[in-house]
Structure 1
Amino acid sequence: MSMIHDGAHMVQLESQTDILDGLQMFTRLDSNVICVEGEKGSGKSWLAQRFLNTDKKIQTLSFLICLPTQTAEQQRSVLLGQLLSDSFCTGEETLLESLSVFRKDQECKATIIVDDANLLAEQLLDELAQLVLAAQQNPLWQISVILFAKPNEIDESSLYTDPKPEFKRIAISPLTDNEATDFIDQFVIPVAHIDSDKKKQAIHSAAQSVVKYPANLLALSESHKKPVVCWVKRSLIALIIILLALGGWSWWTSYQARVQDQQTETDVIESTEIKQDDTGTLANQTSAATTSISGAESTLSEDQEDDTLPLAVTDKTLTVGDESDSEQKRVVVPSKVVDALLDGDSPKDAKVSNDEVTSAQASSVQKTNRSLKGDQLTLADDALLAVPAERYTLQLAAVTKQDEAINFIKMYDLDGQVRVYRTVRNQQSWYIVTYQDFASIKATREGAQELPLALQKEQPWPKSIAQVHQEIERAK
């Protein structure tokens, strides 16, 4: 088996290659039930992925990733959707009944691969056994079932089918010392970006104390990974600190200005009160002189106040350049804004205006990668054809009408997250809703488990991009 990772070279493991050769031999000679048993982390999913990518002689492949939340009906529908992709199956009939109807007098060569088969429904395990027994009696059929599970999780004696098919068992053993060394040097160390000889030696030493399964060896590099500097995160933190500092400085200067204005106003009031008291005392002593002096002071005070006051505020607006109303637009500055600017505060009206401008700008941004334009469905044939054929995707739904596809996308709020393409089955158009694309089966399984529970009940199943390309070309 070969293991590939971004930044790592291909690793050929002889023991895993022998298992693949055995699987190909069992599936090509006759119809069989093969159980591949291995502990957690032994590479069962890698084997399944490699078998899907290398066996080119199989006409039909059906792949099922078992999940704890799946029922027998959901698992059956996933398998039938791949085995009979050109036919419409309700999933209410058994696997054998459906194939007997649609492939009765036709040649049928298929391999069914089930990952995490220990989660397979007992009823469906019986149906798979019945399907293999029927294929052994039909010269036009050759159907094999490969079950990837933990040791002793699949027992053929628990089947209700009689007679029971013989289970071919293949055990996944730990890697040999030489294979483990090659795996660490060519896969684990490049993946972890380790360049220190001391760390490399530490990983090799730690490998002697663990069971030499691929997952266990990969876990050794977790404590020795080269730290990745996230410059984006640091830049955002620095930007936030700068904005907080600017905001604090702006608030402090505004606060100091308000305090100074309040102090000035208090001093003026106290000075006025003192002058009034002095004037009252002087009036009691010399009323006549006080009256004349007060009149003179009043006249002088009014003249001085007229000189010191600013120009009267006018409601007229200012214009720049030509004052012609027909050619120029006047810039109007409301009085509230002027008062707020003089006080050093942010005007409420200006804030509202800025919010409105921001909202208007946000509403004008056009969203991309949408599956819906209004109430119209947008097909993503070109985008899917651009995806490499060796990748995988999750099929969420298959319907015969555009309205049904639109309702499905709106129901689960999937606009912008899915890609829809059209294909033809039995001279009828079908609209297939797909979710993202993944580099491996493991990533596909993780993607299915991350979907909302309501969406998982719609029975999403993995589908190779190569098959998607074929179905798109079929509709052209």
Structure 2
Amino acid sequence: MTNSKLLKLPSQRQLVDRLLHLIEFNHPFIFLSGKPGSGRGTLCESLLNGLPDTVRVVSLIGSAAMKMADVRQLLLQQVVARPLFNPQDALADSFFRMLDGKPANLLLLIERTDELPADLVGELWALCRHNDTLASPHKLAIIVCGNDVWCRSQKEALKGRAMPALELEVAPLSPPEQRIFLYEKAKELKIPTALLPKPKVEEILNGANGHPSAIMQSLEDIMTDRRPKKRQAELPVKKIAIVLALVVAGLLGLSYLPLFDGMGKEETREQPQEGALPAPIGSDALETNAASGAQASGSAVNGDQVARDWQSDAKTLPKKVESETVTTESTNYEGRRVVISDEVVEKLMTQPNVSGALPTEVVNELTGVSSAGATQKSAPATPSAAQHAQPSAPTAQAAPKAAVPVAVAAPKVALTPVSTLNKKPKNHYSIQLMGASNTQAVDSFVAEHALAGKVWVYKTRFRGSPWYVVVQGDYASSAQAKTAIRKLSPALLKGQPWPKSFAQIQKELKQ
């Protein structure tokens, strides 16, 4: 319930104005009473919003779990910033000692006072009486809230002060105010008019008895459907247990049926079959001669039994394995085979210096790369030896071998001086063409695309390892660098080049 809605109602606005007047001029001790749901808490909030800035508020919302020492501590901590007091002392003793004669304008507002210890009201009343005896009394007002029965009983017990304690009751809303409040609250909650027909409105108003909190609770129940539902009937636990027991027993009975069926089948199998066994097959039916085998296969034994030629499933092994290659098959990679020629095996055996990697000639022969070059390397060292070995070979056959080109290593690409790249403006951009973890890949890339003298190459670190980057061009903006990328050759575009600022390049140079 919002304060603005209550302040529009005449009865609520009149009560707040009266409280403000009493606090400012008379400094009273007030009991703010009302039935549960009458809106006492909301009225106190409206009161606090209307207080002048000169009035300091010491507030407390009570609960049944609080003890008197807790109440004293919570109240006195709001009077002075860093209070020094004994929670076991009465409020009046600690209160005036902490103020130390300095005039104060205070309002003590305690909600749900009827839930706090009974000694609290007596100590608050003693506080007011002691303040009246001071030469310069403090501007002190006390408001305690509780239900109407409790307030009346406590008010009558307070005596001995020139200005007696007052009781202000939060009266129920009048019928017109109730209707106004209901529709304004429904509009605020955005409740559809279809959910508030006239009979429903009358039902809410009759049950609220003029209390704003009851009206608000009914509207919230409509929105959240928190109305109490009928209690479901208790489940018949015994009947459910009996049914489950019967079902389990039935399932166990069905599980034994296959056992009886199996016993019947075994008895059936043990019975001898009717009819005579077929006669044994004659020895002439197994003859290896093709002609006699054909005759034997055509003859019938006992009318339906036919004897066929017998042949062994095993194939005849060759006397000698004739192969020029050795095949090894890995048990870890099914279906993957590596064929190594005898010549390669000989090379491996004659080179004991191999440690962890195959020689270049062996790799070339295995992969089929530069096979012509490998052939040339395996040729005799001197032409004369070759001529003596094949004196009758024509010179025309040797000419194609001499014409095969030999692979040449790519030229070495030097790294660009760091000072050259650091002189570039940080807001300019270049194009990163590639990056690699070794210089051989950079040399091959530059040679393949004929980029020698057209690119910058610098060294940085990537994931803790050396990294070599090839960049090209100096552009004033990222847009210009992207335009230059679109003009690159298709071969370079396959590497997915991208714009890179010189600020980033200079940062990578420091790594």
Q: In which range does the TM-score fall when normalised by the shorter chain?
A: 0.3 to 0.5
Give the TM-score, by structure 1 length: 0.46
Bigger-Rg structure (1/2): 2
Q: Which has the higher helix share?
A: 1
Give the TM-score, by structure 2 length: 0.43
**Higher normalized contact order (CA 8 Å, seq sep 6+, divided by chain length):** 1
